Chain A
Amino acid sequence: MLNPVQTRSIDPVTFEVLNHRLMTISEEMGIQYMRCSGSNVLITGNDAAAAVMLADGSLVSVGPYIVTQGNVLPLIVDSTMKSLGPGEVIEDGDIFICNDPYLGAIHHPDIATVAPIFWKGTLVAWVGASGHQLDNGGMDPGGFSIKAVDTHQEGLRMPPVKIASRGVVREDVLRWIRNQVRDPLVALDVKGQIASLNSGRRRVLELFERWGEDTVQAAMQQCITHSREKLEARLAELPDGQWREVQYIDHDGHNPEIYKIICTMTKKGSRLEFNFTGTSPNARGLINCTYAGLQAACLTATYINLCWDIPWNRGVRDCMDIISDVGTVNNCAYPAPCAMATISAVIVTVDATWRCLSQMLLASKDYKREAMAVWSGTSMAPIFAGTSQHGFQFAATEMSHFGGGGGACSEHDGVDTAGIVFNTTPNMPNIEDQEAEYPVLYLFRRHLQDSGGPGKFRGGRSGELAYTIYDAPTGQLEGLFAGTGAEMPNAIGIAGGLPGSAISIARVVKTDIKERIDGGKALPDRLKTVDGELEWLICKHVRSPILAGDVWYHSWQGGGGYGDPLLRDPESVATDVARGAVSHDVCANVYGVALASDGKADHGGTKIKREQIRTSRKASAKKPAAGELKWSYRGTARTEIADALVIDAGKQSVSCGNCGHRHCSTDENLLDHLGLVETHPSSAGPVRGEAYDRGRFKLRHLICQNCGGLTDVQVGLDGAPYSFALPTLT
């Protein structure tokens, strides 16, 4: 044996060595878990995480993949310790399993396990893993029971239970779990978690053996302190102020009701407060989330927007306050159903907090390049189930929507099919893997034209796809759909950028597809060329048959845009048209770009077109009616907000960043001096809710009354409060 280098106490070098090793351990645990999982949601979507925690459950290091999954583990540890009754003890070799959203999980399909680590008889740390399972019983297969009215209808809900006791896996508990779910492969997943926790525990113990308890504990503490101090320092550099964003969830599974999530973010010094006062009460159906989801959402948005170079752990949580009433849609009260939490209340809360954070970045000279419009604002669960060509029963989630559009940034376009925000490592399935496994045939899967939010920098594109039944032994399947954001888009732009696309779900019945397949004829490659009866489906579509020849279609959300689309470089728009990213219609009417016959931008024509659009904006502008809301600015400095506003405390003026027009003084209400143009969201491009329109949503364009330039564009429910950005001028 070579003699390892000895160390003394905790110093920068030892810390760095241990910190890297702790990161590696959580990454290894995650990889090991994923590799032996049987869940296609988990594997295809990388919908899992693993972490190392302190003895009290504080997060020290979390592996890559789904951000939200790692955040729940401390809550699970906390519940585990609190749920112990008299005489019950946590012992070396135990592993606890839990998926109760009221005890730390985000929603039922995410099953988490946590294992205590004992060193010389004392509990010194925890490791944990969490992942999305194929099924968890309940009314509907796949984890999303559309018609549930309380959480007991949503299937298996385990409080912390010992799945392993003193090192021995409890096969009885495993059998009990298997008994509750439709898919026995869930057991394989649980075994994968156990294997990964066991190896994580071994690896952490090696650190204790090698470095001693004091050093390892000090290093773990320091991981947290480092993050906290770094985020505090960053917050101190960012402007103080208050920001508010209002976001929406459409349909609760029972009624097409709209639920508001209102985030008011206050930043003062080194602290960040997210206040959700005003958010709608619990929904009747599955769209709610518990506190676990609310906290995970706030952390996710903060990690991504402020902590790109700060380790994601407890130290970040220590910088923030979350204020919310129990009994609201993103902090629901037992026994509200919440199986769809991740892809409704949680992700929409991410969107709301995200836009507050990005607007704060935008107000800082040093950090504005980090500002991003909201990414693909929602996620979905398109589920199809039945008997496969291989003869087995399945319930599969179509995971292509994990290629959501990225939000545009202050210096560049959003990324096309970039991923879903809470996933650091996005992944979409291959069509061939889908068809080899399930009795379906895809007609197309492509980027959705015009799905990226228009702007000076365009939001990333999302996608669309359609499939039909193929080679199904029983001749039919069942389809179910749980999505959010069909009636309105959630990927809101910043600095005057427009929103990306909403989601859409359709089926075409009584088609000639079966005859075409049987006759070897060409198949349609667009929804509009499928010959049959088209029906738009609501975004919480209950289980219904998919018959031979039926075509099911869905598309998902693109990213929000950045800046007024009239400021986009005309050549970039011409390239977008040549690449099929932008239609001729949106090119002309939203970007105001005229193209020459060779497809290149016609600069003269563009100038005229853009002037026409500005004139027509001004002509249709009215006074914003924002109630009591007052947009005025305090502070002592000059702040530029993108190309939209210049706010100068010295000159006591708020002016247009585009034309220089002085709107008003800093202490007047800016809203009284801007024009409001209200249109249906589909004025930003197709698939902005027009197929689901109930006349409830408007795109609120706040414009400069002089040049017609966009100051801010919001998606607003009639009567809902305005979002705002009120940085202190520092």
Chain B
Amino acid sequence: MYTLSVDIGGTFTDVVVFDEAKGRTVVGKALTTPGDLRKGVMTGLEQAADDMDMPLQKLLGEAHRFVHATTQSSNAIFAFAGAKTAVVTTRGFGDTLTIMRATGRVAGLSVFERYHYRATEKPRLLADERDIFEVTERMDYAGRGITRLDEKEMRDIARKIKAQGYQAVAVAFLFSHKSDAHEKRAREILREEMPGVYVTISSEVAPVLGEYERSATTLFNAYVGPVIESYLEGMVSTLGQNGLKCKPLIAQANGGLATPAQTIPIFTVESGPAAGVVGSAYLANQLGVPNVIATDVGGTTFKVAIIEGGKWTYSKETILNQYQLRLPMIDVVSIGAGGGSIAWVDNGRLRIGPMSASSDPGPACYGFGSDRPTVTDADLVLGHLSADKFLGGRMKLDVDAASAAIHKHIAVPLFNGDVIAAAAGIRRVVDSQMADLIRKTTLQRGHDPRAFALMAYGGSGPVHAASYGADLGMSEIIIPFNASVHSAYGSAQSDVRFSLRYSDPLTLPVEPAKLESLYTPMETSGDKLLLDADVAPADRRFERWVEARYRRQVHTVRVRVPGRLDSVARVDEIAVAFEAEYERLFGPGSALKDAGIEMVDYGVDAIGIVQKPSAARQTGGSSTAPRLRRQAYCPVVDAMVDTPIYDGAGLPAGATVSGPAMIEHPGTTIVLHTGHKARIDEFGNTRIVSGH
């Protein structure tokens, strides 16, 4: 019995095999192959099979679960490689997707980027006026028809779209979330006129109030739809040919899984980072540390997610290429700060980013010709990375080049030529910016970071976590076992999950039956989806939520809704929960009760609990001696100090390591400062606390 998990990232395709009989995990890591992602997947799987001394056919044949997170939709979006897409809208409102509520000029940009008006612009449009067709039809705010869909006009538009060679069509009418009749009829006509062309309607993809976001979500779904459909078909058939017998499950942005047929294409976007959060939540629950801030430091971005009471939260809005989308997506906040961020001097100030060295030429230490110093160069100069262990030793880092870059651009102008002081400064500034993002993210969500443990993964997370964690005064830092394949690990811990949504602004008090009537259809749909995903009735769960606000406010707060709203008292519970959550977020006294509470969006998460591979206990190695010792910087004493370097695989469960020290793992290094104490727990995770 094996569970296989495959996560395709920008650089690497990670494979994790859970061998439940033997209680072990096997990891495969291959280079991602952007042309045909299947190649990298098969290479990674073969690596894992080789490690297990069995043919791939056998490994796949004996897998009872196969989960897969892919970047295919992100690739299509960021490379503008999606389908040629047409949009059909309500007459009079065809410019919704080009006006972009004006916010499209700056959506997703940092404050500093927004300051530079001249350099801001709307994104390259996925559909402009030439691709957008207006049709006569109109619904009112309550979903009552004002003007019927003009079917003849619709048919003419369908023929025009066909003649112009569009590969996908998005239909997004006003108030279609209240009544989908016109959109469905438009889809029928489109399908009659142009069979085989991908058609998607907004009332199915994002049935929520707000036409711009709903239309944008639908546009993106159409844009990636044909790409994802053919990708999934190809993947399923390749896996089948190689012996896979179970139905593969696809990771979604909501942290859940769905079958390929059930996958709404755009819902797979950013599913890798979402899976990382699921893995963190799973680990948090397993370790009995329910409040965790999950952080992922990669080459160009720093990502933060909050897990409270063992649960993650969802974001209300997703920004892709400056478009604002409404997707069921785990709330992950990100800034452009990572190993590749470039350090520079600005009128005596030491600045880091927002420019970033991409992989080519990359940081100076890659030796590909760049002389701009990056965070990774500083890490190397400070002794926090081993020059010969990068990418598992496949690439040797050039310490001299890193040092020269820092000397020229930072040390000479700001630090009297002291390269170590300059490198330490770079680290300090970037660590502090990461701490600021964590603090802002947690405070904005009504939490105190000190009440959380920090979890850090991704290639650079363990290198920096001790610094930004200390800055925040957090109680404990957890570096997960297999921190560099954490998303693949997380996918395997995911349940089947469908997020159903509906909008209908209603002010409390509301008749219980009325409210119940909003939830029942969502649960019925969810139940059907779970059935289709082969989830047994006993394993089906339904979680209800509502997003509410004080009357006439814009921002909503999400609260859980008790199941079965069969009495006034149960409806009252919603008001109580809302007010408590509101005051938690905005402080005591911030509630304005006389304004009334308005419920806006309703949702049901239909969950199919799956049996997860139990985390294997790790015995680890038996060597507690350092692999070597070298000089490395410790910020606590502000000096290079003699530092032992341990081989992570060699440390047995229960081993403790005191800082200053470093523990090397494939793909990352855990850095401990003076006063930090690390303990390897029975699952192989590294737990760091202050020694005081």
**Which chain A residues have a beta carbon within 8 Å of chain B's beta carbons?**
1-6, 11-13, 15-17, 19-21, 23-24, 27-28, 31-32, 34-38, 40, 43-44, 63-64, 169, 184-185, 187-188, 191-192, 195, 198-199, 226, 229-230, 233, 303-304, 307-309, 312, 369-370, 372, 375, 389-390, 392, 402-403, 406, 409, 412, 415-419, 421, 424-433, 435-437, 441-447, 463, 470-471, 517, 520-523, 525, 578-581
On whether A5 and B470 interact (CB within 8 A), knowing A17-B428, A36-B590, A431-B211, the answer reads yes
B554 with A432: CB separation less than 8 A? no
A428 near B102 with CB under 8 A, answer yes
Q: Which residues of B contact A390 (CB under 8 A)?
A: 507
> Does the CB pair A415–B692 fall under 8 Å?
no
Chain B proximity of A285: nearest CB distance (Å): 29
Q: Which residues of A contact B551 (CB under 8 A)?
A: 392
Which residue of chain B has the shortest Cβ distance to A518 in the bound complex? B146
Candidate in B100, B114, B471 with the most chain A CB atoms within 10 angstroms: B114
Query: Does B98 contact A5, Cβ atoms closer than 8 Å?
Result: no
With contacts A28-B443, A308-B119 known, is A38 near B592, CB below 8 A? yes
CA of A191 to CA of B100, assembled, Å: 31
The residues of B that contact A425 with a CB separation of less than 8 Å are: 103, 106, 114
Looking at the assembled complex, report how far the CB atom of B413 sits from the nearest CB atom of chain A, in whole angstroms.
9
CB distance from A7 to the nearest CB of B (A): 9
Contact A523 B146 (CB under 8 A): yes
Complex: how many Å from CA A441 to CA B142?
Answer: 12
Q: Are A416 and B174 in contact (CB under 8 A)?
A: no
The residue in B141, B585, B636 that gathers the most chain A C-beta atoms within 10 A of its C-beta is B141
Contact of A2 among B414, B425, B676 (CB under 8 A): B676
- For residue B594, which residues in chain A have a CB less than 8 angstroms away from its CB? 184
Residues on A with C-beta less than 8 A from B209 are: 430, 432-433, 436
The answer to whether B145 has its CB under 8 Å from any CB of chain A is: yes
User: Given the complex, which residues of A lie within 8 Å of B103, measured CB to CB?
Assistant: 425-428
Chain B, residue nearest A402 (CB): B102
Could you give 5 example pairs across A and B, Cβ below 8 Å? A28-B444, A169-B589, A308-B119, A406-B105, A432-B175
A359 to B95, CA, bound (A): 33
Min Cβ gap B289→A in Å is 15
- B: residues with CB less than 8 A from A are 91-96, 98-103, 105-106, 111-112, 114-122, 128-130, 134, 136, 138, 140-141, 145-148, 150, 174-175, 209-213, 346-351, 414-415, 424-425, 428-429, 432-433, 436, 439-440, 443-444, 466-467, 469-471, 473-475, 477, 505, 507, 550-555, 585-587, 589-590, 592, 594-595, 635-636, 675-676, 688-690, 692
CB atoms of A3 and B348 under 8 A apart: no
- Closest residue of chain A to B115 (Cβ to Cβ) is A308
Q: Which residues on A sit within 8 Å (CB–CB) of B211?
A: 430-432
Contact between B586 and A35 (Cβ–Cβ < 8 Å)?
A: yes
Instruction: Take A185-B552, A447-B99 as given contacts and tell me if A229 and B347 are in contact as well, using a CB distance cutoff of 8 Å.
Output: yes
**Contacts beyond the supplied A187-B592, A308-B119, A445-B93: 12 A-B pairs with Cβ under 8 Å:** A2-B474, A5-B635, A64-B114, A185-B592, A192-B590, A308-B117, A415-B121, A416-B122, A428-B103, A520-B145, A523-B146, A579-B128
Chain B residues near A37: list those with CB within 8 A: 553-554
A13-B93 contact given A169-B589, A428-B102, A520-B147, CB 8 Å threshold: no
Contact A15 B349 (CB under 8 A): yes
Interfacial chain B residues near A6, Cβ < 8 Å: 636
A155 CB → nearest B CB, Å: 20
Contact of A24 among B130, B439, B471, B688 (CB under 8 A): B439
Chain B residue with Cβ nearest A446: B95
CB-CB under 8 A for A3 and B174, given A417-B100, A418-B105: no
Q: A27-B111, A188-B592, A226-B349 are in contact. Are A419 and B473 (CB under 8 A)?
A: no
Contact A445 B95 (CB under 8 A): yes
Point out the residue from B120, B439, B585 that lies within 8 Å of A415, measured CB to CB. B120
> For A403, what are the chain B residues with a Cβ–Cβ distance below 8 Å?
99, 101-102
Q: In the bound complex, do residue A312 and residue B443 qualify as a contact, i.e. CB atoms below 8 Å apart?
A: no
Chain B residues whose C-beta falls within 8 Å of the C-beta of A233 in the assembled complex: 347
A415/B473 in contact, CB under 8 A: no
A451 to B452 Cα, complex, angstroms: 53
B550 partner residues in chain A, CB cutoff 8 A? 38, 188
> Contact partner of B432 among A21, A43, A199, A418, CB < 8 A?
A21
A32 touches B175 (CB 8 A): no
**Which partner residue on chain B sits nearest A431 by CB separation?**
B211
Measured CB to CB, the nearest residue on chain B to A206 is B439
User: Pick the contact of A426 from B105, B443, B592 — CB < 8 Å?
Assistant: B105
Nearest A-chain residue to B553, judged by Cβ: A38
Asked if A34 and B146 sit within 8 Å, CB to CB, the answer is no
By a CB distance below 8 angstroms, the chain B residues around A406 are: 105, 117
Query: Which residues does chain A contribute within 8 Å of B147, judged by CB atoms?
Result: 520-523
Q: Which of A27, A64, A372, A517 contacts B146 (CB 8 A)?
A: A517
Which A residues lie within 8 Å of B414 (CB)? Answer: 12
CB neighbours (8 Å) of B425 from chain A are 11-13, 16
Q: Chain A residues with Cβ under 8 A from B505's Cβ?
A: 436-437
CA A2 – CA B677 in complex, angstroms?
10
